Chain A
Amino acid sequence: MSVIDHNAIELPRISEADVADYVALLKPRVMSLVIFTALVGLVIAPGHFHPVLAFTSLLCIAVGAGASGALNMWYESDIDALMSRTANRPIPRGRITPPEAAAFGMTLAFFSVMTLGILVNWVAGALLAFTIFFYVVIYTMALKRWTAQNIVIGGAAGALPPVVAWAAATGSLSAEPLLLFLIIFFWTPPHFWALALFRSDDYARAGIPMLPVVAGPDTTRLQILLYTIVLVAVAVAPWPLGYFDAAYGVISLALGGGMLALAINVYRHREGREASRATRRLFAFSILYLFALFATLLIEVVVHAVGPSIW
């Protein structure tokens, strides 16, 4: 006879989470941008870097970014459930529990940092650890629910992957990766504030002090315009400073003109459908802008390597 009353015991929850749910925790779309910017950091680094080590570095940076995403979703599961943009994530949907996400994120963070440190170098490993720490602790835990400057300061985490990649290839740091850092750093506020403008109800419901919620849409429009002016200047600067070629400079100027025109449009149109269309256009173009800018650097390096005579 059993002395245990099986009906009185609360059975442990059995997960039905699929691999796809865990992949969603890694924020694959953010990860793809991280991989791309890191690839550019690797490719523009001087000297020969063995392809196996380059692949290892990119994989570790990608997994580290994924770990940050998982830990972010673990900490923000309460507010994710309140916002339409994030309500479909694995934790609010009940597919994965917060402790499972935390364990997953911590495991990936540990392995990505240790693997990069052991197999490539510890400058890159330490920088990757700092990036994960900055995104999870400084941005997610400290800044996001506290200040409207959350994405300005927190943007540093998203700007670090090309720096980590450069460090992986060279074992040190120099001006070029810091220029890439600055470009992504100043790109982040106009990009996310454009998103926040047409998602401000979501952020207000979740109690996140995004700039449109705290300071209003007009102030946000002005800040978007000011940051875009700085961004365009910072993105063009490497050309006259002699770090990147004229092709980059010309494309950067043209793309910057587009960014600036759309930011002015956002500043001018403040109400109705026109205003909504202007912010959505800026948001979409900002992604293309960053991608095209970094793609230009990538193409320049490839063209120089393959056929120097055509330059």
Chain B
Amino acid sequence: MADNEEQTGIVLTEAQQKSRRRRSIAIALALGVLVALFFAVTLVKGPAVLVRPL
């Protein structure tokens, strides 16, 4: 798109961009914690991680 061409569609305001970025970082951190949790429990349980009695 050329610089002088009028931008169409939704254009986020600065406040919207900032809040979206902060939300994205929070989601990334939450997913990171989830991955770390599964990794840590796998280390703790060892092969027993596959044993899940009801």
B residues engaging A (CB < 8 A)? 8, 10, 12-13, 15-16, 19-20, 22-23, 26, 34, 37-38, 40-41, 44, 52-54
Contacts and interface: CB of A to CB of B under 8 A. Distances in A.
Nearest to A14: B16
A310 B41 CA distance: 36
Nearest to B20: A15
Given A6-B8, A56-B37, A59-B37, A19 B44 contact: no
11 contacts: A2-B8, A11-B10, A12-B10, A14-B12, A15-B16, A17-B19, A18-B22, A19-B22, A50-B44, A53-B44, A118-B52
A16 interface: yes
B47 to A, nearest CB: 15
A115 B34 CA distance: 9
Interface in A1-48: 2, 6, 11-12, 14-19, 22
A52 interface: yes
Contact of A19 (B26, B37, B41, B54): B26
B13 to A, nearest CB: 8
- Interface size bucket, A side? 20 to 34
Interface of A: 2, 6, 11-12, 14-19, 22, 50, 52-53, 56, 59, 111, 115, 118-119, 121-122, 171
A15 B34 CA distance: 25
B23 A19 contact: yes
Contacts of A14: 10, 12-13, 16
B38 A119 contact: yes
A66 B46 CA distance: 30
Nearest to A108: B30
Nearest to B16: A14
Contacts of A16: 15-16, 19
Contacts of B52: 118, 121-122
B41 to A, nearest CB: 5
Contacts of A2: 8
A118 B15 CA distance: 39
A16 B37 CA distance: 30
A271 to B, nearest CB: 48
Given A53-B44, A119-B41, 13 more contacts: A11-B10, A14-B12, A15-B20, A15-B23, A16-B15, A16-B19, A17-B23, A18-B22, A19-B23, A50-B44, A52-B40, A59-B37, A119-B38
A213 B42 CA distance: 53
Nearest to B33: A59
B34 to A, nearest CB: 7
A15 B18 CA distance: 11
B16 A119 contact: no
A217 to B, nearest CB: 44
Contacts of B38: 119
B53 to A, nearest CB: 8
A249 B12 CA distance: 61
A111 B35 CA distance: 12
Contacts of B37: 56, 59, 115, 119
